[in-house]
Amino acid sequence: MESNSGTYNDNAAASYEEAKKLADDIMVKIKCRPVVGVICGSGLGELANMVKDTEIMGYEEIPGFPVSTVPGHAGKLVFGHLGGKPVVLMKGRVHFYEGITIQKTALPIRIMKLMGVKILFVTNAAGGINQTYEIGDLMIIKDHINMPGFAGMNPLHGQNDERFGPRFPAISKAYTKRLRDHAKVTAKKLGFEGFTIHEGVYCMLAGPSFETVTECKFLNMIGVDCTGMSTCPEVIVAAHCGMEVFGLSLVTNKVVMEYDSDQIANHEEVLETGALRSKDLQKLVAAMLETLDV
């Protein structure tokens, strides 16, 4: 296991016993028994402010837990109740581009599973590939392209432990239809009319550099609607563990699609849009949980 000093080794995913010990060590210190896990993407950590009866643990307090180093990712586990459901929120996630193995980025999901989490909500800040998408729009994720997986970087790479899930899991239905439908109904009830809620395909690129113009054109050509640098490893591991998954992207910038454009992608824009739209995202997630059958 790696230390929490910021230096990560390149060994394979944590074993079942290692993940179980981490889960048990956390549960000893926490009264909450979460059934829903929520991952907060860049600039979206304010969702944690809606949690009641909070208990908070910093990632650095958990030996072996990967620590986030990116601005906009506070690096805290927040336990409590949201929408009346016992939850655990990751206020910030870790990314492959931080020098962490693809398996380690998804270790928190296995820990959540062993803590009793049945449903995973994943949020992210994403660039709009689909040219009809506007900054501030939300996209319900119906499918993804794990681009690093094309080069063999899959979080399930290595020896499989059947206690987590099968050797060859199906990922075609990773984003649960009942949760996607529930999100659409909830958004309509909330009267979200000032911006658009789409349903589309997310693509993960490894990062940390933003996409080139040609890469964006390619992604558009193959049917990608939004792109980012996270989410796929966590969703793959959640599906492997038998969790239901709901994914939501906040379009924080429109990708550069012209070679001589003066527009430049930057992380500050991502955080700014996240701050502006986060209250609507918070309302949607909380309202979904209030009426969700867990």
> In angstroms, what CA-CA distances link 44 with 50, 66, 94, 167, 248?
12, 19, 14, 33, 11
2: pLDDT strictly greater than 50: no
| Residue 113 or residue 74, greater confidence | 113
Q: What is the pLDDT of residues 28-62, one digit of tens each?
A: 999 999 999 999 886 677 888 889 999 999 998 98
Task: Report the 10 Å Cβ neighbour count for 122.
Answer: 26
DSSP string, 149-215: HHTT--TT-S---TTT--SS---TT-B-HHHHHHHHHHHHHHT--SS-EEEEEEEE---SSPPPHHH
By annotation, the residues acting in catalysis are: 42, 73, 95, 97-98, 125, 229-230, 253, 267
5: pLDDT strictly greater than 50: no
Q: Are 217 and 240 in contact (CB under 8 A)?
A: no
Q: How confident is the model at residue 233 (pLDDT cuts 50, 70, 90)?
A: very high
User: What mean pLDDT comes out for the span 256-261?
Assistant: 80
Start-to-end CA span in the chain (Å): 33
What is this structure's pTM? 0.90
Predicted pLDDT of residue 271 = 63
Instruction: Spell out the domain ranges in the chain.
Output: 16-290
Q: How confident is the model at residue 191 (pLDDT cuts 50, 70, 90)?
A: confident
221: pLDDT strictly greater than 70: yes
266: pLDDT strictly greater than 70: no
Predicted pLDDT of residue 170 = 95
Q: How far apart are CA 222 and CA 216, in angstroms?
A: 10
Q: What is the pLDDT of residues 117-164, one digit of tens each?
A: 999 999 998 999 999 998 888 999 999 999 999 999 999 999 999 999
- Write the CATH number of the domain with boundaries 16-290: 3.40.50.1580
